[in-house]
Amino acid sequence: MNHSVTPKKQASRLPTPAQLKKWDCRYVWHPFTQMQEWPTEPPLIIDRAKGVYLFDQQGRKYLDGISSMWVNIHGHRHPVIDRAIRRQLRRVAHSTLLGLANPPSILLAKELIRLAPPGLTKVFFSDNGSTAVEIALKMAVQYWQQHNPAAGTKHTFVRLEAAYHGDTVGSMSVSGVELFQQRFRPLLFPCLSVPAPYCYRCPIGLTYPRCDLACVSPLEQVLAKRHSDIAGVIIEPMVQAVAGMITQPPGYLRRIREVCTHYNVLLIADEVATGFGRTGKMFACDHERVSPDLMVLAKGLTGGYLPLAATLATERIYEAFLGKYEEFKTFFHGHSYTGNALACAAALANLELFRVERTLTRVQMHAKRLARLLDPLRQYPCVGEIRQCGLMVGIELVQDHVTRTPLPLTARVGQRVARAARARGLIIRPIGNVVLLVPPLITTSGQLQQMVSILSESIQIVSSQIQ
């Protein structure tokens, strides 16, 4: 007797949307989510996607206003990336990079070095931004141990206040978001902190450009005193994303590079969020022609398809790890899926699309268009500041834009704006009372206009409720 299940019978056994929502609440623990509140609002289950749109199980369409957490570049289901993954599947999905190699990882490393700021020559693959940051930190510490052992140990790092570099123990240690860290303080290693260049709420009460970038002085003072034990300065170039899309004033990044060079301290550029065209350049460092000593990449690396990250290093750093087997200068770090062939194939297709579709040119054009669309929102009393770099936008909502008085977090204004936007067909995710808009790079002018229109209406509605 044939006991095989026919496609028709198989389809009839698929879970219903109601069952999936019930099982989601019962079995899944979502990130950065208060799960006690989760069942009170039925979860939106995304069933499929195309271009800049997400579709739920009822077929309702939503604009992906956060690029599926800042990872999607060329839209969902791009035929070129789809084909690249299918083509690689016909050969091999994964084989280890520990003692072996594979063509996609080799070709991707070569392409990344071609695109990266001058001086970066080597690529170490991993699987997400947090681990790529951990790799950069470990590389920096081991580099100083092996580069000049007689100089003593350099193992301390400097970060900006409100910086976010990930959720693993090392990446949390060099982050400055107190809410994310306070529970885990006993696990973290010490890190030095300097004020961030938050021009809207300048910590030293000055105004750009008359300030002459005085916000660099605290770092200069720290390095002048502690450079002998500081391994590196880690920074999100141009934009502190999770901090609320805080944009850095022109010239700030260049000055940071100069200070690090002067005091012989490594500069680590965390381009997890800012890389791959988000800011209008391939990498945010390109805006000021800065070459870091280590650069961290993830999120948009595969165009939003598969987990993959990379830590890029200079030849000087790489050479410090060379030696005889018995000297144990090897960088003892690795992951099971390091250099995954499928992910690397997707990343190669992603980078090729930048060239073929002239993506950066389009982003620069659309960024200007987006700035014009957003400008009318400044008239709302609750809009304190609109911060933008390329297609990365943060709208800080306040009690009053004249006094800049912050809204209480208990008001959940950011969440309420996001909820109102979702009801109107736009998916966004706020950070506190800063509403973020980070659309895929293929978003058209018409779609940008639609996103801003929904966002404007949502802010107006929520603003009227809290006045």
Specify the pLDDT at position 451: 98
* 335 in the same domain as 384: no
Is the domain of 107 the same as that of 197?
yes
Question: What is the predicted pLDDT for the residue at 465?
Answer: 84
pTM score over 0.85: yes
**Residue-level pLDDT at 467:** 64
- Note whether 462 and 379 are same-domain residues: yes
pLDDT at 4 over 80: no
- 146 assigned to some structural domain: yes
pLDDT digit string (tens) for 169-225? 999 999 999 889 899 999 999 999 999 999 999 988 899 988 999 999 999 999 999
pLDDT, tens digit, 9 for 90 and up, residues 33-71:
999 999 988 789 999 999 999 999 999 999 999 999 999
Encode pLDDT of 372-398 as tens digits. Answer: 999 999 999 999 999 999 999 999 999
Q: Does residue 151 register a pLDDT over 80?
A: no
Strand positions, DSSP E, 83-170: 120-126, 156-160
DSSP state, residue 411: G
Residue 16 pLDDT class (50, 70, 90 cuts): very high
In a domain, 32, yes or no: no
Q: What is the dihedral of CA 370, 375, 376, 378, to 10 degrees?
A: 130
Question: Does 10 fall in a domain?
Answer: no
- pLDDT of 12 reads 57
Q: Is residue 5 part of a domain?
A: no
| CATH code, domain carrying 59 | 3.90.1150.10
Report residue 386 CA to chain centroid gap.
19
Residue 374 shares a structural domain with residue 313: no
> Does some domain include residue 453?
yes
For the cut 50, the answer to whether the pLDDT of residue 1 exceeds it is no
pLDDT > 80? residue 3: no
Domain count, the chain: 2
DSSP class of residue 200? G
Q: How large is the average pLDDT for residues 118-131?
A: 98
Identify whether residues 442 and 326 lie together within a single domain: no
Task: Domain of residue 438: give its range.
Answer: 44-74+359-466
CA 82 to centroid of chain Cα atoms: 23
- How many whole angstroms separate alpha carbon 241 and alpha carbon 227? 27
Do 130 and 168 share a domain, yes or no? yes
Identity of the residue numbered 130: S
């991707």: which residue's tokens?
108
C-beta separation of 15 from 23 below 8 A: yes
Final residue before a domain boundary, out of 318, 338, 356? 356
204, 195 contact by CB (below 8 A): yes
- What integer pLDDT is reported at residue 76 of this predicted model? 98
Residues in the chain, total: 467
Mean pLDDT of the region 425-438: 96
Q: Are residues 49 and 93 in the same domain?
A: no
Model pLDDT for residues 260-286, shown as the tens digit of each residue = 999 999 999 999 999 999 999 999 999
